[in-house]
């Protein structure tokens, strides 16, 4: 199975109700930085029927000048690391730090 499957999807954030236009790489809300537990590997949607819980942004990590957003599923506890995106809410990222 592929490790990444680009999937262009628009969505409404279930945490803050922001309407998001996806680009195929969008995996969290750029406003509140919350995500949803829908994948095992990005784009596969294999876990959606099993979990589908919201993923709270818990911390920011910096490795080699790349910032990563760490999410934890509030339903099953799964932890996932995602790169911060160019249009993400900087003030919210700082608050999480």
Whole domain around residue 21: which residue ranges?
A: 11-96
- pLDDT confidence of residue 47: 54
Q: Which residue has the tokens 């934890």?
A: 72
**Residue 2 is assigned to a structural domain of this protein:** no
In a domain, 5, yes or no: no
Neighbour count for residue 55 (Cβ, 10 Å): 27
pLDDT in tens, 2-45: 566 677 788 899 999 999 998 877 889 999 999 988 876 555 55
pLDDT at 8: 79
pLDDT for res 85: 87
- Measured between alpha carbons, how far is 52 from 73 in angstroms, rounded to an integer? 9
Averaged pLDDT, 62-81: 92
Pairing of strands 54-63, 66-73: antiparallel
**1 in a domain, yes or no?**
no
């Amino acid at each position: 199975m592929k490790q990444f499957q680009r999937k262009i999807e628009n969505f409404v954030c279930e945490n803050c109700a922001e309407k998001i236009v996806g680009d195929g790489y969008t995996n969290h809300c750029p406003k509140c930085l919350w995500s949803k537990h829908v994948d095992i590997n990005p784009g596969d949607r294999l876990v959606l029927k099993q979990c589908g819980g919201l993923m709270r942004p818990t911390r920011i990590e910096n490795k080699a000048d790349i910032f990563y957003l760490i999410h934890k599923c509030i339903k099953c506890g799964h932890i996932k690391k995602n790169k911060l995106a160019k249009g993400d809410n900087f003030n919210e990222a700082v608050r999480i730090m």
